[in-house]
Amino acid sequence: MKNILKYVIVDIVQNKIVLVYTFLLLLISLSVFNLESNSAKGLLSLLNIILIIVPLICIIFSTIYIYNSSEFIELLVSQPIKRKAIWLSIFWGLAASLSLAFFIGAGIPILLYHADATGFMMIAMGLFLTIVFVSIAMLAAGLTRDKAKGIGLSILLWLFFSLIFDAIVLFLLFQFQDYPLERIMVFLSFLNPIDLSRIQILLQMDISALMGYTGAVFREFFGNSLGISLSFAGLIIWILIPLIFSLKKFKAKDL
């Protein structure tokens, strides 16, 4: 497993896209912090960029990478290696290199300009989102053999988690505004890893007061250490479930 992981990481690093991604993040975070007079404001702007860009790049790059390494996978499957080791090596290779890219591109500027609990939470959530979306990409690429379908599916999934899901939640809120939905909202936020990260970072930023009564319920639920642990657990489940499903699929795949 270590052997294969080494080759996967070397291959990804040689691929210029990850370097470009790192520089893009670095450029964005440095300019955001330098444009705003107050670094807390900079962090808020960075939050919105990270919640859009990180999942998008991670899911698309990973999906394309998995399809492009079909030769590599085919070569390895005929060798004395466990299929599980091959699949997990690709997962860890992608997760490790994209996490490193995020840490260099966004983590280091955040530590330089705003190294407090909010900054740390933002780095943690960025890393979580990176790994969650690599895992979702593994599932999308594992579901279909057709590269175009697979990439389309992962774009759809990204669109769902960043826009459509919120739209549905808003729709429900308006439809059932006569009912107390605050507790249900807490539950619903667990169904979307991006929302989960957004809530955690916003609560750290102390602007949850702007969110009205729902914000207060969120504060009550997510604000304490139990809530933080629960949302971390939620994100870990978001990593594990797609990965386990894709692994199951890959084990039975004909090559």
Partner 1 sequence: MIIGKNITKKFGKFKALDNVSVKFDKGECIALLGPNGSGKTTLIKSILGMVVPDSGTIHFDEQDILHQWLYRNQIGYMPQIGRYPENMTIAQVMDMMKDIRTTGHVKFDEELVKSFGLDKILDKRMRTLSGGTTQKVSASLAFLFNPDVFILDEPTAGLDPLSSELLKQKIIKEKQKGKLVLITSHILSELDDLITEVFYMQEGQLLFHKKLTALKEETGESKLSKAIAKIMSGQPA
The interface region with partner 1, picked from 7-15, 118-126, 201-209, 213-221 by CB under 8 A, is 7-15
**Judged by CB under 8 A, does residue 254 bind partner 1?**
yes
Instruction: Pick the closer one to partner 1 by CB: 7 or 245.
Output: 7
CB of 82 vs partner 1, minimal distance in Å: 5
> Three-state SS for 49?
helix
Q: Outline where 69-181 has alpha helix (H).
A: 70-77, 83-102, 108-113, 117-143, 147-159, 165-175
Interacting positions 174-193 with partner 1 (CB under 8 A): none
Residues that bind partner 1 (rule: CB under 8 A) add up to a total of 24
**Judged by CB under 8 A, does residue 145 bind partner 1?**
no
**Judged by CB under 8 A, does residue 4 bind partner 1?**
yes
Binding mask 49-88 for partner 1 (x = CB under 8 A): --------------------xxxx-xxxxxxxxxx-----
Q: How far is CA 41 from CA 45, 88, 114, 162, 205, in A?
A: 6, 39, 10, 22, 10
**Judged by CB under 8 A, does residue 3 bind partner 1?**
yes
| CB crowding 62-97: b at 16 or more within 10 Å, else e | bbbbbbebeebbeebeeeeeebeebbbbbbbbbbbb
CB of 73 vs partner 1, minimal distance in Å: 10
Q: How far is CA 129 from CA 16, 93, 107, in A?
A: 22, 16, 13
User: What is the contact surface with partner 1 in residues (CB under 8 A)?
Assistant: 3-4, 7, 11, 14, 69-72, 74-83, 251-255
